[in-house]
Amino acid sequence: MSSNTTPSSTAQGPIDIAAIRAAARDLEKGAVPSGYQGNREEIIEMLNAALATELVCVLRYKRHYYTATGLANESIKAEFLEHAQDEEEHAGRIAERIVQLNGEPDFNPSTLVQRSHAEYDECGDIKGMIRANLIAERVAIESYRQMIERIGDTDPTTKHLLIDIMAAEEEHADDMKDLLD
């Protein structure tokens, strides 16, 4: 560290520790810091749509897991179950972030499909199931990409969460593409 730099300074000047401490005492804002620059309402709305998408994906993958038949499809069924569990974990992480932003996660089943970006599927044949899951993964990937772009650098925590989930969705799409081939 140079002699002109102290632990509480940056290239733009010293950090105002007193102001940070004072703002941190406003406990009504929960985990949202005073310097938060995101549009909380818009981000919560996007996250609730993502939550609905993940929940619909859980239901679709589980339906496919339970309805796929035949010994030759056991490995595909296992993939469906694994993806359902991953999607459920994504939903949990998204719900947690909504709460951190002082929002309420929307788990209302009566509007779930309408709020979801991905569609539910009742296909009965294995190829159709795989195809529906690949399409849904591609929808989720593009939805997350657009959310990440829209959030930009205004909410780094949400941005990183969505980047991480999008990477997992890309892996799921790759898995479904491999099964389709």
CATH number of the domain where residue 70 is located = 1.20.1260.10
**Residue 160 CB contacts under 8 Å (≥ 6 apart), including other chains:** none
Question: Tell me: the pLDDT tens digits for 126-160?
Answer: 999 999 999 999 999 999 999 999 999 999 999 99
Tell me the average pLDDT across 41-62. Answer: 98
User: Quick check: is 169 in a domain?
Assistant: yes
What domain count does the chain have?
1
Q: What pLDDT sits at residue 1?
A: 43
The structure's pTM equals: 0.86
Alpha helices in 68-155 (DSSP H): 74-100, 112-115, 126-151
Name the pLDDT band for 28 (thresholds 50, 70, 90): confident
User: Quick check: is 64 in a domain?
Assistant: yes
User: Quick check: is 6 in a domain?
Assistant: no
The burial of 75, by beta-carbon neighbours within 10 Å (0-12 exposed, 13-18 middle, 19 or more buried), is given as exposed
Average pLDDT in the chain: 91
Is residue 6 scored above 60 in pLDDT? no
Phi, psi (rounded to 5 degrees) for 154: -75, -25
Is residue 29 scored above 80 in pLDDT? no
Q: What pLDDT sits at residue 131?
A: 97
Amino acid letter at 2? S
Q: Which residue has the higher pLDDT, 6 or 48?
A: 48
Ramachandran category for residue 13: left, alpha or beta (phi over 0 → left; psi -120 to 50 → alpha): left
Cβ 175 vs Cβ 79: under 8 Å: yes
Which residue, chain included where needed, has tokens 């309805």? 67
Cβ 149 vs Cβ 138: under 8 Å: no
User: Quick check: is 97 in a domain?
Assistant: yes
| Lowest-confidence region among 3-7, 15-19, 62-66 | 3-7
Name the pLDDT band for 12 (thresholds 50, 70, 90): low
User: Quick check: is 4 in a domain?
Assistant: no
**Residue 43 CB contacts under 8 Å (≥ 6 apart), including other chains:** 101, 151, 155, 158
Distance CA 115, CA 103 (A): 16
User: Quick check: is 9 in a domain?
Assistant: no
User: Quick check: is 25 in a domain?
Assistant: no
Element (H, E) at 174: helix 156-180
Q: Which two tokens stand for residue 169?
A: 């969705």
Is residue 25 scored above 90 in pLDDT? no
User: Quick check: is 1 in a domain?
Assistant: no
- Tell me which residue range forms the domain holding 121: 39-180
